[in-house]
Amino acid sequence: MGKPTGFMEYKREVPKDIVPKDRIRNFNEFHEHLSMEKQQLQGARCMECGVPFCQSGMTLCGMTSGCPLHNLVPEWNDLVYTGNWEQAYKRLVKTNNFPEFTSRVCPALCEAACTCGLNGEPVATRENEYAIIEHAYAKGYAVPKPPKIRTGKTVAVVGSGPSGLAAADQLNKRGHSVTVFERSDRIGGLLMYGIPNMKLEKHIVERKVNVMEKEGVTFVTGTDVGREVKAEKLLKDFDRVILACGASSPRDINVPGRDAKGIYFAVDFLKANTKSLLDSAFQDGNFVNTKEKNVVIIGGGDTGNDCVGTSIRQGCKSVTQIEMMPKAPDERAEDNPWPQWPKVCKTDYGQEEAIAVFGHDPRIYESTVKEFVKDKSGKLKAVKIVKLSWEKDEAGRMVWKETAGSEQTLPAEIVLIAAGFTGSQKYVTDAFKVEVNQRTNVNTLPGAYETNVKNVFTAGDMHRGQSLVVWAIREGREAARAVDESLMGYTNLMIQ
């Protein structure tokens, strides 16, 4: 454990971010970090509780409490405290293939479940994780470690997001020959093009991909499996196939005026922005430019927030974020006790930046779009929204109704739809003839990863629906274990 009295002696300390008006000048990561000495004191606050909720990954009231990867949090917090950074790295990567990603983009489920947070402030676990992995790269602990023995078995992974990469990493470590197919021009999937640079700079993704390449994983980009490459060819050329293509079908908003020019899906907006940044520092013009435009974003999740931050960096005239749900309380409600995930209002980096630039929170709650208004040339000029009220129907379900007389018209030349995703893409599932459920996620037996098609497995958002990066990594690890067992008759790959 950390220092026995550490949680009483040391206050939680996390580094300050670069102030909003400075950080919006570029697309760089804006989190500053503590010195190694200060970071060790944060490790001292961990008490290695008798029941470590931080690593439990339990589902409580439909929400995850603690780390789904079951990271050995108390162990490496203690190793941070004692300055044993190399051993801390070894314990960290025992359960997590990509701490360089999760320490940047994970909402820190571990911290929300930390016992110290019950009557005080939780241990700064995510920042400790960041310090461990970056120290490991700096000191050479995270160098490539190719397997000494190859099994002669081959696996194709379709999709290079966090679940596909985790499966590939695990199976390659086992000694199988793994080829990852990616339809985009860069490896990383969601990590590369779905998450903006200010949350995850792309050289961090490329750094890990380079390590995996040197360890023996083969990456093939610009290849759209299911269209350019037939499913039959992969099943013939490889012993096993893992489908990890994500939940790639965005949910649309079908109201009058939907055909107006200026309406984009958020995922397309974010991808084009990041690709243009990487390709040419925006010199090619191949992105949706919100400069001097009124922007309306439909959706209140992480993707919507990323659109707010991106639009502000581009120099938008105004930005408004429409959310159907009511504003969450500022503090835990009595029916939302620890260690449940706290259902409280979170003001994320994009909203912070909007407040700094425009002087107010960009979110409008309990509202939905009623109409997209076009000008004579068919271009978007405004969005009509209406307030909602939530009521219980006869079955006890909460349903929404429009509030009469509450319509409001917002000026808008750009609308970004960030309303989530409906599931896997049909052309991929049709190509492999795999069954899907009502949500169009690839169907498997509960807790399993093999599909109805022999030798075809699935993992990640394509399997469980839109979720967190940390859940995608866990799914990739579990799918790799299932594939390994099917190839070898047994498996020694760890899930946790």
178-222 pLDDT per residue, tens: 999 999 999 999 999 999 999 999 999 999 999 999 999 999 999
The type of residue at 382 is: A
pLDDT value at position 397?
A: 85
pLDDT at 4 over 90: no
Residue 87 neighbours by CB under 8 Å, 6+ apart: 79
pLDDT score of 250 more than 70: yes
Query: Which domains, from first to last, does the chain contain?
Result: 6-139 (1.10.1060.10), 154-248+422-488 (3.50.50.60), 263-417 (3.50.50.60)
- Of 495, 496, 490, 477, give the one whose Cα is nearest residue 171: 477
Nearest alpha-carbon partner for 243 in 55, 372, 436: 436
The per-residue pLDDT for 123 is 96
What pLDDT does residue 398 have? Answer: 81
d(CA 118, CA 338): 6
Beta strands of 40-158 (E only): which ranges? Answer: 58-60, 63-65, 154-158
Closest CA to 126 of 65, 77, 188, 190: 77
The rounded distance, in Å, linking the Cα atoms of 338 and 7 is: 18
Report pTM. 0.96
More confident residue, 1 or 184: 184
Residue 394 burial (10 A CB sphere; 0-12, 13-18, 19+): exposed
| pLDDT for the residue numbered 205 | 98
pLDDT given at position 8: 85
Of all residues in the chain, the percent with pLDDT exceeding 90 is 92
* pLDDT, position 189: 96
Listed in sequence order, the DSSP H helices in 315-393 are: 349-358
For the record, the structure tokens of 19 come out as 């102030």
End-to-end CA distance of the chain: 20
Statement: residue 496 has pLDDT above 90: no
Amino acid 32 reads E
Is residue 5 predicted with pLDDT exceeding 90?
no
Contact present, 424 and 440 (Cβ < 8 Å) = yes
Q: Residue 322: beta bridge partners?
A: 298, 364
Contacts of 382 (CB under 8 A, 6+ apart): 372, 373, 409, 410, 411, 412
pLDDT at position 313 is: 98
Q: What is the pLDDT of residues 97-140, one digit of tens each?
A: 999 999 999 999 999 999 999 889 999 999 999 999 999 999 99
| Residue whose tokens read 């102030």 | 19
Judge whether 272 and 311 are in contact, CB under 8 Å.
Answer: no
Q: What is the pLDDT of residue 1?
A: 67
Per-residue model confidence as pLDDT tens digits over 278-325: 999 999 999 999 999 999 999 989 999 999 999 999 999 999 999 999
Nearest to 29 by CA among 18, 39, 21, 38: 18
Amino acid identity, position 153: K
Phi/psi at 124 (5° precision): -80, 65
Burial class (CB in 10 A: 0-12, 13-18, 19+), 155: buried
| Average pLDDT, integer, range 339-359 | 96
Residue with tokens 């009469």: 404
- Judged against a pLDDT cut of 90, whether residue 3 lies above it is answered with no
Contact 46, 74 (CB under 8 A): yes
Banded pLDDT at 495 (limits 50, 70, 90): low
